[in-house]
Structure 1
Amino acid sequence: MNISIKLLKLNISLLTFLVMSLSLEAEPKKAHIKNILFIVADDLKASVLGTYGDKVCKTPNIDKLAEQSLVFDRAYCQGVVCGPSRTSFMHSRYRGSLGTNLAEHFKNNAWYTARVGKIYHMRVPYDIINGTDGQDIASSWTERFNSSGREAHTPGDYACLNLNIFTDKLEHRESTKMPNRMFVSVSYEGDGSDQPDYKSASKTIELLNKHKDKPFFIATGLVRPHYPNVAPKQYFEPYPWEKIELPEIYKNDLADIPKMGRAKTMNSSNPIGKYIDNQKRMWSAYYATVQFMDEQVGRILDELERLGLRESTAIVFLSDHGYHLGEHGFWQKQNLHEEVTRVPLMIYVPGMKAGRTQALTELVDIYPSLTTLLGIETPKEVQGKSFLPLLEHNNKTIRNEALSLLSSAKGYSIRTDTYTYIRYKDMSEELYNMNKDPKQFKNLSKNPEYRPVLEKLRIQFDLRLKQEGLNKPAKKK
C-alpha cells in the first residue's frame, strides 16, 4: 500500500513537472529591453509597401522587419502634413506641444538620446540643402545630427514633370519655396552615398557602435520619398514609367466631394493633369526613392543585428502621413482621405511574437506604448493610449475610432471599424463605407439610406472632439 502511494506521488510530481515545463515553453521569452530604435520615413503612404500589399515597389528590408514585428493595418496619423504630425506623435497630443516630448522624457530618465536627420519638422528641401535644424527641439537630445544633400540641384537628369521639363542643366531648377518643386525628380549616376538618407543611415550605424553598451533612444528621420525624388539611376530602372498603372479614376468622382475636401493640387487645376505619361513618371520616381530609403533601413537593421542588439532593442518604424499620387486626381497631402491619413506602423519587440492587427491605432499611441514597455512613468499630458496589449492579443480593441486633423481646425475625420466620417469647418461632410468602398469613391453623407449611420457618427464625432479638447484653443508648452 505504501509503495503504491509513493508511486502515485512520484507520478503526480512527474506530471506536474512536465506541465510546468510545457507552460514555460509556451510563454513568449521576455527579453531585457533597454533600447529604442525609432525610424521615421517622410511622406510614405502605407499602400506602397510590400507588407501592405503593393506588388511593384521593392521594399525587402521593411517587409522583413514587418515579418518580425506587430504590423498595424489600420494606423492613422493625427496631422496630415509634416509639422503637425511630427509635433503630435512626439508629444502624444492632438494639437500643440504641451508637456515633455517623447525623446526628452527618455533623456530625463537617463537614456542617451540622439536625433539623426528629420524627426521634428524640417523644410524639405531648404533645411536639407543647408544642413539646418528646422523646427527641432534641442532639449530632446543628448546629441543631434543633420544630413545634408543637394536635392534638386544634384547633377543628373532633372525633370519637372508638371511643366514637362527635362534637362541635365543645373540652372533654373525648381527648389525651395518654388511652386512646382513637388513634381521634381533627379536620376543620376552614383552609388547614393551623397544622399541625405545614406548619410543618416551611416551616422546611425556609427552611433549604434558608439553607444551599444548603455541604454539609448536613437531616432533616425529619413527624408525620402518626400520630394524632390532624387536617387541614382539604378533605383529608377526597376520601374519603367511605360509599365506603370495609374490609380483608377471614378467617373464624376469629385462631384460629391465638398470644396473643402478637395486637394490643393489636383489634375483639374495643375498642369500635371495634362501629362498622363508624366503622372506615370511621378510614380516611377516615388517608387525609386522608396526603394532607396528601404535600403538605408536595411543597412541600419543589419548593423543592429551584427552588434547583437536585436535582443535588447525595440524597433519602431512609421511614416508621418501618407500621400496622394493621383488618386481622385489629387496630389500630395493635407487631406483627410485614406491615402493620406493611413500610415505604415510596425513595432518589433524582442521576445514577443510577430503578427498583424486590425485594431484602430493612432500615432499618438506610440509615446505611452514605449514608456510602458521600458517601465517609465507616462506623463499626465500624454493623450495617446498604449497599444502594448495588442502584442499579446492582436484582436483586442484599443480605440473605437481613429482621429485625424486638418491644420488650423479646418476639418476632422474619424475612422471607425466600418466607416470614415469627415466634417469640415463649413459643416460640409463626407461618409464612406470602408468595407464596401475602400477607395472612397461614393460619399454617402446625402444618401437617405445612411441617415441613421450618419446621425450616430455625428454624435460619436462630437463626443470624441470634446474628449480631446479640440473645441478649445491649442495649449503650448
Structure 2
Amino acid sequence: MIQMIKKLLVIFLALAITSCKTQKATESKDSSQPNVLVFYVDDLRAELGCYGSETAITPNIDKLASDGVMFNKAYTQQAICAPSRMSTLTGLRPETLGVYSIFTPLRKVHKDVVSMPQLFNENGYKTVSIGKVYHHSSDDKKEWSVYYGKEANTYNDPKNIAIIEQLKKEGKNPKGPAFDSADVSDEAYKDGRAAKYAIETLEKLKDDKFLMFVGLSKPHLPFNAPKKYWDLYDKSKFKIPSRKKPEGVYRLSLTKWGELKGYHGIPKEGDLDDDLTRDLIHGYHASVSYIDAQIGKVMQTLEDLDLRKNTMIVFMSDHGYKIGEYGAWCKHSNMEIDTRVPLIISRETNYKKRKAGKTSDALVENVDIFSTLVDVCDLKFAPVSDGKSLIPVIDNPQQKWDEAAYSVYARGKKIMGVTTTDGNWRYTEWRNSNTHEILGAELYEHKNSLLSYENVSGKGNYKSVEQRMKKLLEIKFPSNGEPFLQNDK
C-alpha cells in the first residue's frame, strides 16, 4: 500500500512539473516578447559598404547598420559551413560538439542537444527556416514550425546549361561553371525565391510570435546572380589582390581551395590568371548586391506589416572568405579574413534602450547569438551555452568586453589549429589533437587590415606580444588539456 502511494506521488509530481512547464510556455506566448528575424548569409566576409568597402554596393545592409549596432570585431568559431552553423544554432563551440567537418550532421552524433528552434518552440514561438540555415537538411526538417529547405543551385544562362548537359552525357561532374549572369528576375535564382518565401510567411505569421531564419546562399559558389547586379560593377576596376603568401606561414595554414577547383572552367593547378580572377571577384560582388536587394525586400515587408517595432534583427555570416588573397580562395583556415565576420544587431524599435547607427569594437562571437536571443526573448528552460548574451554591449556599444575571441580549424583528425585574436593580433598554434604538442605557431598583426604578410612568431621584437597572446590562448585551449573531442563520422 505504501509503495503504491509513493508511486502515485511520483506520478502526481511529474504531472505537476509538466503542467508548470506548459503553463510557463503558454504564458510566454501571451507576453510582449519580441519577434526575431535572422539573416544568415553564406561565405560573406566583412566587406560591405557599411564596413568601409570601396567596391561593395550594399545599400540595404548599410541602412540596417544605421538602424542598429554594427560589430567591427565579430568572429566565427570555425571557418567552414556545418560546424559554424551548428555552433550558432546550439550555442556550443565546435570543440564542445566535437564536429569539425562538413560531413557530419548534428543529429547524427547529438540526439539530445537543444537547438535554438527547439527552445523557441517550447516557449510558444512559431519557428521558420528558409533556405540554408543548418548545413544539413537532415538537421533542419523536424525542428521548425515552417520549413523551406535549401535549394540546388540554378543556372539560367543557356551556354552554362548546355555545358552542364554535356558534362552529364560524358559522365563527368556536372557541377557547372563558377558563375552565371542571365538577364532574369531575382526569383529565377534561389535567393530571390528565399526572399519570396520569407515575405509570404511574414504575411501569414503577422499575428504570431516568430523566430525566422532567412538563409541566403550567395555569395557562396557558384556566383550566380541576375545580370542587373553584375551591371552595377565595372569588371576592369577590380584590383587583383596580392597572391603573396605570408612569410613563415605554417605548411597547413592555407588550403589548396579545392572547393573552387571543382567547378567547370577552373584550372586544377596553379594560380588563376588575372582575367578569370576578375570574373570571380566580379561575381562575388554581384552576388553580394543580389542578396542585399533580397534583404531590402524582406525589411520593407516588416515595415509594411507594422512588425518592425517588435522585431529584433540579426544580420550575420557563417564565416569570412578569400577572393584571391594569399593566392587562395574560399575559407577553410584560421586566418583573420576567414574567421572575422560581419554582424549587425538591431533591437526592436519600441525597445526603450535601443541604440541605432552605432559601431562597437567589442570582441564578440557567433556563439554568443544563442544566449543573446535567450536574453532578449526571456526564454524559459534554456540549456547551458558556451556563449554569453551581448545585450549589455548592444545597449552600450562602447562598453569594455572580452579580451579575446577564439576559433579552431582541424586538419584531419590528428592536427588541430587553435587561434585567438585580441582585435589587433592573431595568434595560432597547430597542435597534435591528442597530446597538444605544438607543431607550429603563427603570430600576425591586424591593426589596420584583414591581411598580414609576415608570421612574426618567434621573433625577438615580438616576444612580449607573443607571450601575452599565448596566455590568452591557454585560457580556452590549455596545453595540458584533454584530447579534442572528435565526433566526425
- TM-score (ref. length: structure 1): 0.82
Does residue 359 of structure 1 match 2:362?
A: yes
Secondary structure at the residue paired with 1:412? strand
**How large is the Cα RMSD of the aligned pairs?**
2.7
Deviation of 1:265 (Å) = 2.4
Q: 1:448 aligns to what?
A: 460
Match of 1:36 in 2: 36
Q: Tell me if 1:112 matches 2:126.
A: yes
Where do 5+ consecutive residues of structure 2 fail to align? 1-30, 98-105, 262-266, 433-438
Q: Tell me the equivalent position of 1:210.
A: 204
Cα contact 1:149–1:195 (8 A) shared by 2? no
Aligned-partner Cα distance in 1 for 2:482–2:233:
43
Q: For the residues of structure 1 that align with 2:365 and 2:381, how far apart are their CA atoms?
A: 17
CA contact (8 A) 2:44 2:318 kept: yes
1:323 aligns with 2:335: no
1:460 match? 472
Shift in Å at residue 249 of structure 1?
4.3
- 1:305 corresponds, among 303, 306, 310, to 303
2:359–2:397 Cα contact (<8 Å) kept? yes
Partner of 1:163: none
* CA drift at 1:323: 0.6
Letter of the 2:288 counterpart: V
Q: Deviations over 1:40-71 (max 9, x none)?
A: 01111112x11111121211111100110111
Residues 167 and 173 of structure 2 are in contact (CA less than 8 Å); yes or no, is this contact kept in structure 1? no
1:216 deviates by: 0.6
SS at match of 1:54: coil
SS at match of 2:280: helix
- Residues 69/444 of structure 1: CA separation in 2 closer, same or farther (3 Å cut): same
Deviation (angstroms), 1:316: 0.5
In the aligned structure 2, how far is the partner of 1:155 from the partner of 1:52? 32
Q: SS in structure 2 opposite 1:226?
A: coil
**Rounded Cα–Cα distance in structure 2 between residues aligned with 1:155 and 1:470:** 52
Q: CA deviation at 1:324?
A: 0.6
**Equivalent residue of 1:73, what SS?**
strand
Alignment of 1:158-307 (within 5 A): 158=160, 169-172=163-166, 184-250=178-244, 253-265=245-257, 270-271=268-269, 273-307=271-305
Q: Displacement, 1:179?
A: 7.9
1:385–1:398 contact (8 Å) kept in structure 2: no
In structure 2, what is the Cα distance between the partners aligned to 1:436 and 1:240? Answer: 27
Q: TM-score, normalised by structure 2?
A: 0.80
Contact 1:183 1:282 survives alignment (8 Å): no
Question: C-alpha deviations, 1:150-187, integer Å up to 9, x for none?
Answer: 53x433454xxxxxxxx96443459xx98895971111
Distance 1:182 1:345 in 2: 32
- Contact 1:36 1:315 (C-alpha < 8 Å) held by counterparts: yes
Distance in 1 separating the partners of 2:255 and 2:65: 31
Given that residues 246 and 454 in structure 2 are in contact (C-alpha distance below 8 angstroms), is that contact kept between their aligned partners in structure 1? Answer: no
Residue 312 (structure 2) aligns with: 314
What is aligned with 2:340?
342
1:402/1:471 CA distance change after superposition, 3 Å: farther
CA distance in 2, matches of 1:150, 1:380: 36
1:402 aligned partner: 405
- What CA distance in whole angstroms lies between the structure 2 residues aligned with 1:283 and 1:470? 42
The residue aligned with 2:9 is: none
In the alignment, the residues of structure 2 paired with residue 75 and residue 454 of structure 1 have an alpha-carbon distance, to the nearest angstrom, of 22
Inter-partner Cα distance in structure 2 for 1:197 and 1:420: 34
Match of 1:428 in 2: 440
Taking a change above 3 Å as real, the CA distance of residues 119 and 360 of structure 1, as seen in their structure-2 partners, is same
Whether the aligned pair in 2 keeps the contact of 1:359 and 1:395 (CA below 8 Å) is yes
1:248-273 deviations in Å (ceiling 9; x for gaps): 345xx344111011222299995461
- What one-letter code is carried by the residue in structure 1 that aligns with 2:235? W
Match of 1:76 in 2: 75
1:155 aligned partner, one-letter code? D
Give the distance between the partners of 1:329 and 1:261, measured in 2 at CA. Answer: 13
Report the CA distance shift for 1:148/1:437 in structure 2 as closer, same or farther (over 3 A): closer
Residues 79 and 232 of structure 1: CA distance in aligned 2, closer, same or farther (over 3 Å): same
Q: Which residue of 2 aligns with 1:130?
A: none
Gaps of 5+ in 1: 1-30, 123-133, 159-166
Q: Say whether the 8 Å CA contact 1:78–1:403 is kept in structure 2.
A: yes
Percent identity, aligned pairs only, is 28
- 1:214 to partner: Cα distance: 1.5
- Deviation track 1:206-264 (CA, whole Å, cap 9, x = no partner) reads 111111111111111011011111112221122232221122345xx344111011222
Cα deviations across residues 330-379 of structure 1 (Å, max 9, x unaligned)?
A: 11111111111000111110230111100000000001011101111473
